[in-house]
Amino acid sequence: MPPGTFRLVRGPAQVAASDDSSELVVATRAATSIYHVDPDGGVSGLEADLVRRFAEEQRKPARFVVLKSLAEVRWALYTRRAHFAAAGLIDNPHWRSDARFTGPYRRVTPEVVYSVHHHRKLDDIEELDGLQVAVIADSAHAEMLEDLRRRAHLDIKVVRVDAGIDPVDLLARVEAGEIPYAVADSQQVQLAQQYYPSLAVAFELGPPQRLCWAFPLGREDRLYRRASDFFVRISANGELTRLAERYYGHLGMLSYQDVAGLLERRLSVLPRFAALFKRAQLRTGLDWRLLAALAYQESKWDPHATSVTGVRGIMMLTGDTADELGVGDRLDPEQAIPAAARYLAQLIEAQPSRVVDPDRLWLGLAAYNVGWNHLEDARMLAQRQGLNPASWLDIKRMLPNLAHPEMFSELKAGYARGGEPVSFVDSVRGYFDILRRFEPEYQAPLASTLSATSPR
């Protein structure tokens, strides 16, 4: 019987076998990289997306049972409260007495993390002797650290934090200097570093590990085989890579200086323009933090910014685009911000109907940077190479080719610095993530909403 106490005393009832059930019941945990409820009530996270995609193939809805710890997830499997678990699980030999794992959907490496502002870099586990190291209680990292501590005969002071904490929030405490060192996997560290730039990896605690789904032993054999086949198939056809791009494709684009600069200007500069971005949200429906992220990428929120190519202002509009949008003064944020928001909304709306979110947004941002005609050339190149012209991941691969003579000489719009829209979109995505974490969403007053949406 697995260790730990299942704290949901009145938790989910036992489920019928999946073939007899009208839905797939999935045990999970709330965490940025797994299952996250967005402010609008939607659910995001790579694992949640994978579950929904698998459930669609089974022609059944997925119902998530969100639990507080891995011990509860394991107990839910053991007591048949879920058909399977998708909870950021590492293929763990300690679970194999009562669970079995599918093939991996991702590989991650356990890392020892610290803040460069508060503590020194360590080179190996022996340097942890006598130091505090935080791990999430009942996690595979906790088991690994305890095992290494015993085998190396080290006095590592293992601090087990609340099993329900999001790993990103644990790493925020390291960045703040509350915890000297912590163990997290490489995926969680990458996510946290885009919000907390002083986080750094001291060393890897062990080899790469497999993230998998877990199924109860002795039951759900057919569903287990289908899930295993599902991962093999989506790994081979590229669908897994496309899903991962939604959450991780832009990570690592922003430098320490990029993130630190945004965080500083968020406090010193953004308040001057926040109302304009929120007003633009009312008119276009685009999140004000997305518009602010776009403006930061363009100008660092400098209304007088001017580039060598002649684009100007906080939104860096070209002269022709400003004229088309009726902007008389590109250096006036009260004109430039709403106009740029309208322009981006038009570019998003103009995407072909086969393009779905979030690719629709990212392709709209690419067009904002490189121009619609160059984006269309990239779509054509994608089609020629058997790629998906509705996929940002595939267009991202094609855009740099717009700068190659053997390519652009045959394209309608000709030469373009195609690498720039790739870095542009990924940078905007990074800044948007940061602002969503630290700035609240804007809920317009009812009267304003009615005014903005009423026919004229």
Model-wide pTM > 0.85: yes
Distance from C-alpha of 6 to C-alpha of 67, rounded to nearest angstrom: 9
**Same-domain check for residues 345 and 311:** yes
Tell me whether residue 3 is in a domain.
no
Tell me whether residue 131 is in a domain.
yes
Tell me whether residue 394 is in a domain.
yes
By the 8 A CB rule, do 76 and 67 touch? Answer: yes
**Same-domain check for residues 263 and 282:** yes
**Same-domain check for residues 265 and 325:** yes
**Same-domain check for residues 242 and 158:** no
Question: What is the extent of the structural domain holding 442?
Answer: 256-453
Q: How many domains does the chain have?
A: 3
**Same-domain check for residues 182 and 79:** no
Tell me whether residue 315 is in a domain.
yes
Instruction: Tell me which of 148, 183, 207 is where a domain ends.
Output: 207
Walk along the chain (456 residues) in steps of 10 and give the mean pLDDT of each run. Answer: 38 76 93 81 88 95 92 91 94 86 94 94 92 91 89 91 91 95 95 95 94 89 94 95 92 93 97 98 97 98 91 94 94 97 97 94 97 95 93 95 82 87 97 95 67 41
Residue 336, amino acid: A
Tell me whether residue 283 is in a domain.
yes
**Same-domain check for residues 433 and 297:** yes
**Any idea what the CATH number is for the domain that residue 68 is in?**
3.40.190.10
Q: What is the pLDDT of residue 138?
A: 84
Q: Could you tell me the end-to-end alpha-carbon distance of the chain, in angstroms, rounded to an integer?
A: 66
**Same-domain check for residues 172 and 134:** yes
Tell me whether residue 223 is in a domain.
yes
Q: What is the pLDDT of residue 16?
A: 83
HEC secondary structure over the chain: CCCCCCCCCCCCCCCCCHHHCCCEEEEEECECCCEEECCCCCEECHHHHHHHHHHHHHCCCEEEEEECCHHHHHHHHHCCCCCEEEEEEECCHHHCCCEEECCCCEEECEEEEEECCCCCCCCCHHHHCCCEEEEECCCHHHHHHHHHHHHHCCCCEEEEECCCCCHHHHHHHHHCCCCCEEEEEHHHHHHHHCCCCCEEEEEECCCCEEEEEEEECCCCHHHHHHHHHHHHHHHHCCHHHHHHHHHHCCCCCCCHHHHHHHHHHHHHCHHHHHHHHHHHHHHHCCCHHHHHHHHHHHHCCCCCCECCCCCECCCCECHHHHHHHCCCCCCCHHHHHHHHHHHHHHHHHCCCCCCCCCHHHHHHHHHHHHCHHHHHHHHHHHHHCCCCCCCHHHHHHHHHHHHCHHHHCCCCCCCCCCHHHHHHHHHHHHHHHHHHHHCCCCCCCHHHHHHHHCCC
**Any idea what the CATH number is for the domain that residue 302 is in?**
1.10.530.10
**Same-domain check for residues 338 and 449:** yes
**Same-domain check for residues 135 and 242:** no
**Same-domain check for residues 433 and 334:** yes
Half-sphere exposure of 202 (CA within 13 A, CB side): 23
By the 8 A CB rule, do 322 and 330 touch? Answer: yes
Distance from C-alpha of 132 to C-alpha of 155, rounded to nearest angstrom: 9
**Same-domain check for residues 329 and 421:** yes
Instruction: Tell me which of 199, 229, 248 is where a domain ends.
Output: 248
Q: Which residues contact 306 (CB under 8 A, 6 or more apart)?
A: 312
Return the closest-CA partner of residue 297 out of 253, 348, 360, 249: 253
Buried b (16+ CB within 10 A) or exposed e, 190-217: bbbbbbbbbbbbbeebbeebbbbbbbbb
By the 8 A CB rule, do 280 and 341 touch? Answer: yes
Tell me whether residue 2 is in a domain.
no
Burial class (CB in 10 A: 0-12, 13-18, 19+), 267: exposed
| The residue count for the chain | 456
Buried b (16+ CB within 10 A) or exposed e, 396-422: bbbbbbbeeeebbeebebeebebebbb
**Same-domain check for residues 316 and 174:** no
Tell me whether residue 1 is in a domain.
no
Distance from C-alpha of 354 to C-alpha of 334, rounded to nearest angstrom: 34
Distance from C-alpha of 107 to C-alpha of 209, rounded to nearest angstrom: 5
Q: Which residues are catalytic?
A: 298
Q: What is the pLDDT of residue 6?
A: 35
